[in-house]
Structure 1
Amino acid sequence: MLDFSNFELYKNNSTDNGLHTTYQYKYALPFEKVEDPAQFTLFLQRNWHHSITVSVVYFSIIKLIQWLMKDREAFHLKKTLFCWNLALAIYSIIGLVRFSEDFFHSLYTFGFFKTLCYSCHPNDVAAFWSLIFAISKIVELGDTLFIVLRKKPLIFLHYYHHAVVLVYTTHSGAEHTAAGRWFIWMNFLAHSFMYTYYAIVASGHKPPRYVSVCVTTVQTTQMLVGVCLSILVFHYKTMDLPCQQSFENLYLAFIIYVTFAFLFIRFFVNAYIRSPRKQRVKHE
């Protein structure tokens, strides 16, 4: 874990000593900055475990609402749901566009290894979007409220994904996990597709079936890539190459991405392979 007690020293270090890339955006919007990255990082390092508390409270509230809704009529919430998904789609697309500048510039300039093992500049635009990304994981817990208030089926994958991503994102933020550059970019990409699709469905339109297949494929691919990246980081660290990711965070990432990959693959099979088969059997 990085020690940010002397941030000025860290900020002025060379790339190799600081384990962060040196790219800074040529143009930044006035709000695209973290006012005090040292204090924010120290706050996360001291309090990241409260993300587990938030996840437990989140799960408890969801179960309580399900119990309260058991004998009540479902809420419709169509307009609210549309606005919610549209807002998250716009946010994800903007985040993808802004974060991609650092991602692709670093990949082209510094190469694959440093994009995976050297974190983004701690006091620039990419760091701001990393912070907003972490905060958005709390906001996205609201997705589940729409499911339980509308009395739609709530699968394990849904709330497990929301809770675990919140915990891992907070832990990674506390450590400035370098592989987070890849994880954040992939998540922005997947959520740009996902929330846009949800917004279209909430508006009353029904996209062709292949669209939902593509969205789930993007999500599943993200998890499989996450597993591969974690294996690569483990390989680099066992070769004593400098890599800004602790073994604790790495093991957590591997466990999470393996379970996500398994659950998304199972969901894909059940939703798009077995279900159509069952429907064909019924009609025969």
Structure 2
Amino acid sequence: MEFYRELNSFSIYKNGSDHLTSDYTYKYALPFEKIESPEKITLFLQMNWMHTLTISVLYYAIVRGIELFLKDRSAFDLKTPLLLWNGALAVFSILGFVRFSEDFVLSLFNHGVYRSICYSCHPNDVAAFWSLLFAISKVVELGDTLFIVLRKKPLIFLHYYHHAAVLIYTVHSGAEHTAPGRAFISMNYLAHSFMYTYYAVAAAGVRLPRWVSMTVTTIQTTQMLAGVAISIVVYRIKSVYDWPCQQSYPNLYLAFLIYFTFALLFIQFFYNAYFARKKSSAKKSKKIE
């Protein structure tokens, strides 16, 4: 119960202002790249973030319901919708990375690690706008699973666990303006730029060499390991050095748990997809000989 209370004890826009914010402003911003009322959005996320749990449960139930419904029915083709879906998410991810990461990368070069992972992006600037779109995209990306089950492709635990956990953590982080989110969002936009581009090309019917899919999985796995490393650094900053950092302990523990389990699952997936299968094929060929 104590952990749950801490998980919901947001101070931003409620009690005070120990909110550490970057002073970086973009030199070039499009007219729509701004948030008019960051306070309202923050309060909305603080009061409603827990509904991501409801969405995740419904998401799982709908997915399983569709699988049961299609058990004795033919799969949908969905080749063109899948191509458009992945293509749109690839373009979005690339634009998101280009626009959002400017804030994090320049902060890293100009101010070092501490300010880059302990100061959140400016709530009125371009990075905050793309941060909000990032959170919204985590709901949209649940649609990935629908394409899998409607086409009757194998659905692994890593897939739906990843989607649900990222949604919950992203919205909770947005509610407290979690500073390491500057690194997490940049990494996720980058990884998804490669991932959805790969999916779009594959959906178009292009057969890509094996090393391409291995590279995409490597990028995803590296992202998870980097998330674990950043969480450890933030923990040391807060507990050992006792420096202020815009991330609560409950959010930090969630980050570590999620990234650590993701890292293990992606490493397992990488091994099973590219090494275990290869050994299995080699054994079969020996039997044939």
TM-score band, normalised by shorter chain: over 0.9
Question: Amino acid of the residue matched to residue 35 of structure 2?
Answer: V
Checking the alignment, whether the CA contact within 8 Å between 1:5 and 1:38 is kept in structure 2 is no
Question: 2 CA distance for matches of 1:162 and 1:3?
Answer: 27
Q: SS at the partner of 1:74?
A: coil
Note if 1:147 corresponds to 2:156.
no
How many residue pairs match? The answer is 276
Structure 1: distance between partners of 2:191 and 2:276: 24
> Could you tell me whether the CA contact under 8 Å between 1:99 and 1:126 is conserved in 2?
yes
* Structure 2: gaps of 5 or more residues: 1-9
Residue in structure 1 matched with residue 177 of structure 2 by the alignment: 176
Q: Secondary structure at the match of 1:111?
A: helix
Aligned counterparts of 2:168 and 2:14: Cα–Cα separation in 1: 23
Q: CA deviation at 1:5?
A: 4.5
- Superposed, 1:1-284 pairs within 5 Å as 1-5=10-14, 18-238=19-239, 239-284=241-286
Amino acid at match of 2:253: Y
Preserved CA contact (<8 Å) 2:231 2:255: yes
Q: TM-score, with normalisation over the residues of structure 1?
A: 0.95
Q: d(CA) in 2 for partners of 1:116 and 1:18?
A: 13
The answer for the alignment partner of 2:6 in structure 1 is none
Distance 1:256 1:51, change over 3 A: same
Question: Over residues 55-107 of structure 1, what are the superposed CA-to-partner deviations in whole Å (9 max), with x where a residue is unaligned?
Answer: 01100100000010101100000011000000000000000000121111111
Instruction: Return the offset for 1:3.
Output: 2.1
2:193 and 2:109 map into 1 onto residues whose CA distance is 23
- What SS does structure 1 have at the residue aligned with 2:275? helix
Give the TM-score, by structure 2 length.
0.94
- 1:18 Cα deviation (Å)? 3.9
Displacement of 1:27 in angstroms is: 1.0
What is the distance in 1 between the residues matched to 2:77 and 2:218?
29
User: For residues 53 and 124 of structure 2, what CA distance do their matches in structure 1 show?
Assistant: 27
Structure 1 residue runs of 4+, over 4 Å off? none
- Give me the whole-angstrom Cα distance separating, in 1, the residues matched to 2:69 and 2:33: 42
- Paired position in structure 1 for 2:5: none
What is the SS of the residue equivalent to 1:100? helix
Per-residue displacement from partner, 1:141-184 (whole Å, max 9, x unpaired)?
00000000000000000000000000000000001000000000
Distance 1:84 1:102 in 2: 28
SS at match of 2:31: coil
Q: Distance in 1 between matches of 2:19 and 2:37?
A: 18
Could you tell me which amino acid in structure 2 is paired with residue 271 of structure 1?
Answer: A
Q: Within 2, Cα distance between the matches of 1:272 and 1:105?
A: 36
The answer as to whether partners of 2:19 and 2:246 remain within 8 angstroms in 1 is: no
Q: Deviations over 1:10-38 (max 9, x none)?
A: 6xxxxxx6411100111111111111100
Distance in 2 separating the partners of 1:103 and 1:234: 19
